[in-house]
Amino acid sequence: MKITILVDNYVTSLTSLRDKLMSEWGFAAYLHDYKILYDTGLSGNVLLNNMKSLNIDVNEPEYVILSHRHLDHTGGLMKFLNERNKPIKIIAHKNLFSPAKAKDEKGEIGIGVNFTKEDLEKKGAELILIDSPYKLKDNLIISGYIPRNWGPSHTGGLIDDIPDDMALYIIEKDGIVVLTGCGHAGLENIIEYGFKITGQNNLKGIIGGLHFMGLNEKRLNDIISYIKTKSPIVIAGTHCTGIDGISLLKQSFSSSFKEAGVGKEIII
Ligand SMILES: [Fe+2]
Ligand SMILES: [Fe+2]
């Protein structure tokens, strides 16, 4: 399976494309084998620029899956739809259109979606809103709401606990590959719920934003110890995993660590 990182906080060092790729705070990835665009980044400009630079036709994706409602994952959707001339299925949590807010030292800002249901439908999108596990194909399950039964969630000081945070589980013969946008539901919850609803017990890989930013050392150590018990062959933490978090993953998992970043192709 090939996954290309289309939007991320940084660009990888592909020399031949270094004047063509762009980065921004956000995340999007393309699953070539299943024609799934997972998240859309923040602005749309970066997503479209990078798809073009990486030769991925904007009409190729058949599905968009939105990991959660935050703007750095949903903000590119309208520009992406505007460029297309084909309908598409969009799978998101029922909570997609709830307002979302974040606070920093300068005040409160809205970080929810920048479109309405009608905006999407006008563009020919078939919107599938879920809150429980959704089987897209025999080996592809979208989590719906992830219960917080196995560990803490990571909301990073946000005002709600992001019930819309969903993971994509890809079932392969040697375990599940987990894709996550920001990982707000908490890594143990995301993985254990994946085992529960897929009936698998082997973690093959974990790819996406793991939200290590802002976590204390004890919590980070707990997560690393937990991942070690699962022995995945690929760990590509990116976006809100943060620079320190990515470096911690690299130190902790020398053989399974994979660099992500815009332009990176992860083969698993
Ligand atoms: Fe994010
Ligand atoms: Fe988020």
Q: What is the pLDDT of residue 264?
A: 96
CA–CA distance, 212 with 204 (Å, rounded to integer): 20
166-200 confidence digits (pLDDT tens): 999 999 999 999 999 999 999 999 999 999 999 99
Q: How far is the CA of 166 from the centre of ligand 1 (A)?
A: 12
Q: How far is the CA of 45 from the centre of ligand 1 (A)?
A: 17
- For residues 146 and 180, the answer to whether their CB atoms sit within 8 Å is no
Question: Mean pLDDT over all residues of the chain?
Answer: 96
Sign of the torsion formed by the C-alpha atoms of 112, 117, 118 and 124 = positive
Say yes or no to pLDDT of 22 above 80.
yes
Instruction: List CB-based neighbours of ion ligand 2 within 5 Å.
Output: 70, 182
CA–CA distance, 160 with 146 (Å, rounded to integer): 15
Q: Which ligand is nearest to the CA of 68?
A: 2
- For residues 238 and 27, the answer to whether their CB atoms sit within 8 Å is yes
Say yes or no to pLDDT of 224 above 90.
yes
CA angle (60 as vertex; 125, 143 as ends), nearest 5: 60
Q: How far is the CA of 209 from the centre of ligand 1 (A)?
A: 7
Q: Is this model's pTM higher than 0.95 or not?
A: yes
SS3 label, residue 177? strand
Q: What is the pLDDT of residue 15?
A: 80
Give first-to-last CA distance, the chain, whole Å. Answer: 5
pLDDT band with cut points at 50, 70 and 90 for residue 137? very high
Q: What is the pLDDT of residue 36?
A: 98
Q: How far is the CA of 110 from the centre of ligand 2 (A)?
A: 12
Output DSSP code: residue 38: E
Q: What is the pLDDT of residue 102?
A: 87
CA–CA distance, 246 with 235 (Å, rounded to integer): 10
- Domain covering 2-267, topology: Metallo-beta-lactamase; Chain A (3.60.15)
Instruction: Give the CA dihedral 72, 75, 80, 83, nearest 10 degrees.
Output: -140
